[in-house]
Amino acid sequence: QVQLVESGGGSVQAGGSLTLSCVTSGFTQRPYRMAWFRQLSGQEREGVALIAPSNITRYAASVIGRFTISRDDTKNTMSLKMNNVKLEDTATYYCAADTRVGFQTTSAGAPVAHDYTHWGQGTQVTVSS
């Protein structure tokens, strides 16, 4: 059974840093693409960043220069380093993965939710002033 488990969420002051982690298990084939999404209650899930083999990355425009996505396939983990966080980064963050080759993005370069089969349960990030 495939599982994705996020950790690292919490409360942080604006301008601070936070690192989210996602541990995967149960995959019979290594995920090709992995991504982070975020969602506020009542709103659509928003793509934040994705990573594919050879460290190909894509980011939502709102996080470029502040967030860094990485993965360690030897440890079945993916991380999101969040620097200089802003109030608008407050959300529940989800990791996602898919084994199919290739990836889709919005016209602005962000990952799209329907491109991912497997999802974690989410971790809350709250940014305060």
The model's pLDDT over 26-67, given as tens digits with 9 standing for 90+, comes to 999 999 999 999 999 899 999 999 999 999 999 999 999 999
Predicted confidence band of residue 99 (pLDDT cuts 50, 70, 90): very high
Please name the residues in contact with 97: beta carbons below 8 A apart, sequence gap of 6 or more: 2, 4, 24, 27, 31, 33, 34, 35, 78, 116, 117, 118
6: pLDDT strictly greater than 90? yes
For residues 128 and 83, give the distance between their C-alpha atoms in angstroms, rounded to a whole number.
14
Per the CB < 8 A criterion, the answer to whether 122 and 94 are in contact is yes
What is the predicted pLDDT for the residue at 63? 98
For residues 123 and 129, give the distance between their C-alpha atoms in angstroms, rounded to a whole number.
20
What is the predicted pLDDT for the residue at 41? 87
